[in-house]
Structure 1
């Protein structure tokens, strides 16, 4: 990526070639990177904007600070120096949070946020335990409630899977703030079964391309059409499809058997969430050995967190028996004494080898 404009301890700001060359015809974009375990977060949407000839300024985090860093003041200076004018702020998850919080400060024209957090800071944001490991390392640089209220009147398209247990509260917060400040220009769009983040489902359904192209051309997006298309986006994305299939009845599931096999073959083979969803579906379809093989791959992809380990234990108990599932859980020293693991072990010991346990374990992150 060409055109580094600022490279600090916390963030890097770079301009794509369409800004560097001065080839700017439409509304530019400012993107915020997502949470990452890499030393610097990958650029968000870089290839998309480069291919489409859209000018974009990319902000990358060098650690997961949710944009609570004094260096964010540099972003406004870069935008002013490059004379970008009003831009569209765009991000997913942590990046979506950044897009939501900085709209007015960066004099944005609009916001597109995918599965964003509404609050991350203590005490208001601590209900979302996914980010507990990061909170101790950054301190508030702005008030989240005030920052959200500042966006009233600014057009925003916010996409969230309302069924996702930990993303739904963020959507509810945004809906509450929208009602309090009269932010009628905020469009809160549900992406059923899209999981977290919803970006893959939206991308594969062509929804993101349509929305971003409209905003680049300064056209008013057809929000009603976006809502309708988002309801069915899960059909285009293997991970979202399996998330949907986990909840359908056995008769309906049987009609999707061929689709499930085809989607599994085209799905992300190294995504442990996709793998555990697939394992659950194939177990329901009466293919226990395939379910077991897939579930073993899910826990082999990385050091299994508690929710994934208990998911796998449920599959093992159903296919191999509770004693084998117990041996698996006891062989995970990094989860020794974890309360969720202890609860599942207790159930395994109580229910015995023949009792299926899929409904007894957690529902994932």
Structure 2
């Protein structure tokens, strides 16, 4: 969370916890919280990055059920919150942002509401047990899902949104990374020596805000160049580290 910005909570329900920050620009960024620590209350994430240091309006959404948008009615509720926030802030354009489960939501929501750019950091492509049976890191929460609205992200990609995705190269991320859909409007980069900690790596390098802002501006070349010193490479390119130990 941010010590500099005052971000009031506007809902604390059984499923959704929601915060709204009103900025001065015509941009609304919807920031989705990840899975968080086991048993911990979920708070908002990416406060300074989502608001561009306080300039942009931002809607922060945490799914307390940790359902990857599969809780009954959750997509409609989020869409209504986005619509209401657009009216209240006067926003003309919507961006989405998130890490892990939050990244999944950020990439999936453009199917259900207009989004110009969606940014996913270490997002799951799916948590459906038939699609990713090898992935067990989130089984405690995945096993509580009784019906899947979204089987995998390939069902949600729309042509009017540009998607920016960053994954770590580590073998533990293979099930997340390699099942991501591919399309001309998806910019997908891989970070070597990185596991599920893409945001932490970007923060440590002093690049998180810059990288996300280049994505929001839909500047794919600048996005890639800003990560060149971290040896990021496009998923569509040959793996330059293929002969090295994974990770």
So what's the TM-score if we normalise by structure 1?
0.55
Aligned partner of 2:67 in structure 1 is 65
Q: Deviations over 1:294-344 (max 9, x none)?
A: xxxxxxxxxxxxxxxxxxxxxxxxxxxxxxxxxxxxxxxxxxxxxxxxxxx
Aligned partner of 2:199 in structure 1 is 199
Gap change, CA 1:26 and 1:191, over 3 Å in 2: farther
Aligned 8 A contact 1:12 1:59 in 2: yes
Give the deviation of 1:141 after TM superposition: 4.2
CA distance in 1: counterparts of 2:191 and 2:228, whole angstroms: 10
Give the deviation of 1:149 after TM superposition: 3.6
Gap change, CA 1:39 and 1:71, over 3 Å in 2: farther
Gap change, CA 1:156 and 1:51, over 3 Å in 2: closer
Aligned partner of 1:29 in structure 2 is 29
Q: Deviations over 1:217-237 (max 9, x none)?
A: x463413314523417xxxxx
Aligned partner of 1:52 in structure 2 is 53
CA distance in 1: counterparts of 2:74 and 2:118, whole angstroms: 21
Gap change, CA 1:39 and 1:201, over 3 Å in 2: closer
1:213 aligns with 2:213: yes
Gap change, CA 1:13 and 1:40, over 3 Å in 2: same
Q: Deviations over 1:282-305 (max 9, x none)?
A: xxxxxxxxxxxxxxxxxxxxxxxx
Aligned 8 A contact 2:26 2:92 in 1: no
Aligned 8 A contact 2:104 2:123 in 1: yes
Q: Deviations over 1:226-261 (max 9, x none)?
A: 4523417xxxxxxxxxxx9xx88xxxxxxxxxxxxx
Q: How is 1:248-327 mapped onto 2 (pairs within 5 angstroms)? A: none
So what's the TM-score if we normalise by structure 2?
0.79
Q: 1:75 aligns with which of 74, 78, 93?
A: 78
Gap change, CA 1:219 and 1:114, over 3 Å in 2: closer
Q: Give unmatched runs, 5+ long, in structure 2.
A: 1-5, 233-240
Aligned partner of 1:107 in structure 2 is 114
Max Rg structure: 1
CA distance in 2: counterparts of 1:210 and 1:4, whole angstroms: 27
Give the deviation of 1:58 after TM superposition: 0.3
Structure with the bigger percentage of strand: 2
CA RMSD of aligned residues (A): 2.7
Q: What is the total number of aligned residue pairs between the two structures? A: 224
Q: Give unmatched runs, 5+ long, in structure 1.
A: 233-243, 249-362
Aligned 8 A contact 1:158 1:186 in 2: yes
Q: Which has the higher contact order (CA 8 A, sep 6+)?
A: 2
Aligned 8 A contact 1:121 1:140 in 2: no
Aligned partner of 2:229 in structure 1 is 229
Aligned partner of 1:356 in structure 2 is none
Give the deviation of 1:24 after TM superposition: 2.9
